[in-house]
Amino acid sequence: MIGEFAALGAALSWTVSALLYGKALSKTEPVSANIVRLTLTSAILLAFLIATGMLGVLTSLSTSVVVLASVSGIIGLGFGDTLYMISLKMIGVARAVPVTCTYPLFNLLLVALFAGKTITWSVALGAIVIVLGIWLLSLEEERDKLNSQKKVLIKGLAVALATALLWSVSIAMMGLAVEKTPNLDGAFAINTVRVLTIGASFAVSAPIVDRGRGFLKMTRRTVATLIVGGIVALGLGWFLLTYSFIYTLEPRAVPISSATPLFSTLAAILLLHERVNVKNVMGSIMIVAGIFILFLV
């Protein structure tokens, strides 16, 4: 059960980070936000690795593991998270998060086609039920508002789906890397390599990628918000997902980690006091049901 609880912890971490990113993106642009988030978070993770005496674990990783983790970071954190922030900016947290969390279906397909892992009917059923719940959470009652912003909505949903696809590829590569170093220190080191690679890349290419130099114009509060969100999502969330691969199968851990919309709904009710419609409630129930099915496997 350790792997399943770690995957749930990842989902909770990503819920918190999504709320923080949404707040920060009201003050800056997605590309600028991702540059600041990744460069500063990677520096913090490296400092933590050195302070805890685990630098040796990092340097002992095999070349194949480093390559897998690095490419995973470029795909998932560089391209994927930039698209994620664009989708948050375009259609908001309530719609972007549920759509991006359809990545378990892409991941199930990838591991079946390329990793040679067996996907049981119960695991597939649990993933499908979770995604159906996510779809219900993404629906809104205000159809007139949706019609008035149809073009933006369609583009935002397309970007969110592209995010889900890139995340699934990134996660599959992380799973392969963890198989080669199946222990706690190795999981943390692999996650650190993943973040460091894209953080260093953005640090070097920032003036080219962000020609408006938005990463230099942020307020301290916005920077702090992005750093906290980065630590929660990249330092804690992705580590927990990586760690879960040690104790449970990837096709089982990934769908559980996609329960973020459930926590987002609960946060909206308890913390933000938002109104919740029947579709929101049914979507949350279906996500819980999907997770329950996965736990029974």
Q: What is the pLDDT of residues 48-82, one digit of tens each?
A: 888 888 888 888 889 999 999 999 999 999 999 99
Give the tokens for residue 80. 């994927």
CA 108 – CA 124 distance, rounded (Å): 8
Please give the biggest Cα pair distance in the chain. 58
pLDDT of 149: 64
Whether residue 294 is predicted with pLDDT greater than 80 in this model: the reply is no
Give the tokens for residue 182. 């199946």
pLDDT band at 141 (very low <50, low <70, confident <90, very high): low
pLDDT band at 291 (very low <50, low <70, confident <90, very high): low
pLDDT of 231: 92
Q: Which of 94-108, 163-177, 180-194, 259-273 has the highest mean pLDDT?
A: 163-177
CA 247 – CA 265 distance, rounded (Å): 28
Give the tokens for residue 19. 């709320």
Check if the beta carbon of residue 237 is closer than 8 Å to that of residue 14.
yes
pLDDT of 117: 64
Domain boundaries along the sequence of the chain: 2-296
Place of tokens 């692999």: 190
CA 85 – CA 93 distance, rounded (Å): 10
Of 36-45, 142-151, 262-271, the one with minimum mean pLDDT is 142-151
Whether residue 144 is predicted with pLDDT greater than 50 in this model: the reply is no
